[in-house]
Structures are given as structure tokens and as C-alpha cells.
Amino acid sequence: MKHKPKPSAPSPSASAVVDDVLTPDETCRVLKISRVSLWRLVRDKRIPVLRLSRRLKRFRRADILAVKGDK
């Protein structure tokens, strides 16, 4: 009879990690701004951006909510 390994402590699921980052469109909806305004804020370093590749960018939910609170 084989022993089954005990399950380890739950790790953060992929969906939990994905929930912590926003796409540019989601970010615009949260901040109620246009994409042009979003990229202007990124350019002016008022919003930090995660550059996953040359074209793929995401925003941390906590950073966006902090910016929203400053408005």
C-alpha cells in the first residue's frame, strides 16, 4: 500500500495573484480616466507600472487604490 503525501499548506492561487494586478483597461475604469490620461500619469511617474514585456504592462491594485485616494 502506497502512502499518499500530506497536502502542504495552501499557497496563494494563481487567481489570487492575478487579482492583485490590473490591466490598463481595468485601471482606467477604476480611476475613471482615459487611456491617454493613464499613460500620461505613467510617463510622469505618478503611477508605477509593471513591465512584463515590451508591450505587456500591468498595474498593482494597491498602487492604483493609493493613487485613487490621492485624487
- The domain spans of the chain are 20-70
Percent of the chain with pLDDT over 90: 66
* 42-57 average pLDDT score: 96
Element (H, E) at 55: none
- Answer whether 66's CB lies under 8 Å from 59's CB: no
Residue 23 half-sphere exposure toward CB, CA atoms < 13 A: 3
Mean pLDDT, residues 37-51: 96
Bigger pLDDT: 8 or 61?
61
Amino acid present at 38: L
CB 3 within 8 A of CB 37: no
Q: pLDDT, tens digit, for every residue of 12-37? A: 555 555 679 999 999 999 999 999 99
**Which residue type, as a one-letter code, is found at position 2?**
K
- Cβ of 55: how many Cβ atoms within 10 Å? 6
